[in-house]
């Protein structure tokens, strides 16, 4: 099963992608984690992307798409994978379409999170960079950037919406339920 997880920052998307991937026996493919790993190992790719990531910018598509393409062509990805953090733009959707041909994604799992509940939850976590203002700003940016992707995949009938708030296991169960 080829899946894409889309959700706002702080909604537990990465955690869920990991849990659900383990339960389905398929790899969790997070471009952000892959880049962080390259930076940590100080590889050529890591050297190339470090400053970009520190500035909070997007890595150029040619670099991101090449890395992603190589990853999903590995034997462990033959039976499917969960994409997390890619695609993020319409250009990346087109690049993924080129890579996957007509056997594209099976489902797009969209974390449907109420903004006020997300604010309450993140404030309760008590991290210094989580103020109501920064949380709402991140949420707004996410909505702006993600809406075009939701529209594209929605037209293809791929979107499934899952309430992303709750206990970790409970949310994983919900996701698995909508996938079967």
Site of interaction with ligand AMP (CB under 6 A): 31-32, 35, 52-53, 56-59, 64, 85-86, 88, 92
Q: Quick one: 85 or 164, whose CB is closer to ligand AMP?
A: 85
Rounded to the nearest whole angstrom, what is the least distance from the CB of residue 168 to ligand AMP in the complex?
18
Residue 7, classed as helix, strand or coil, is: coil
Rounded to the nearest whole angstrom, what is the least distance from the CB of residue 148 to ligand AMP in the complex?
14
Dihedral over Cα of 142, 144, 149, 150: its sign: positive
Q: Quick one: 63 or 165, whose CB is closer to ligand AMP?
A: 63
Q: Quick one: 30 or 172, whose CB is closer to ligand AMP?
A: 30
Helix, strand, coil fractions of the chain, as percent rounded to 5: 60, 15, 30
Nearest to 111 by CA among 37, 172, 43, 48: 172
Residue 171, classed as helix, strand or coil, is: helix
Rounded to the nearest whole angstrom, what is the least distance from the CB of residue 60 to ligand AMP in the complex?
8
Rounded to the nearest whole angstrom, what is the least distance from the CB of residue 123 to ligand AMP in the complex?
21
Residue with smallest beta-carbon separation from ligand AMP:
32
Q: Quick one: 97 or 173, whose CB is closer to ligand AMP?
A: 97
Q: Could you tell me if 46 and 149 are in contact, meaning their C-beta atoms sit under 8 angstroms apart?
A: no
Cα separation, 67 vs 31, whole angstroms: 8
């Amino acid at each position: 099963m080829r899946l894409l997880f889309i959700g706002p920052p702080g909604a537990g998307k990465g955690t869920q992608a990991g849990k659900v991937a383990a339960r389905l026996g398929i790899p969790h493919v997070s471009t952000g984690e892959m880049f962080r790993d390259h930076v940590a190992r100080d590889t050529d790719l890591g050297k190339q992307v470090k400053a970009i990531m520190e500035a909070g910018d997007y890595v150029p598509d040619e670099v991101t798409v090449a890395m992603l393409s190589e990853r999903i062509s590995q034997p462990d990805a033959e039976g499917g994978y969960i994409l997390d953090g890619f695609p993020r733009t319409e250009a990346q959707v087109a690049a993924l379409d080129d890579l996957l041909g007509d056997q594209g994604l099976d489902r797009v799992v969209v974390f449907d999170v109420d903004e006020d509940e997300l604010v309450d939850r993140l404030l309760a976590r008590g991290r210094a960079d989580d103020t109501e203002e920064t949380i709402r700003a991140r949420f707004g940016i996410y909505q702006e950037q993600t809406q075009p992707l939701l529209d594209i995949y929605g037209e293809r009938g791929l979107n499934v919406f899952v309430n992303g708030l709750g206990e970790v296991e409970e949310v994983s169960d919900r996701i698995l339920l909508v996938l079967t």
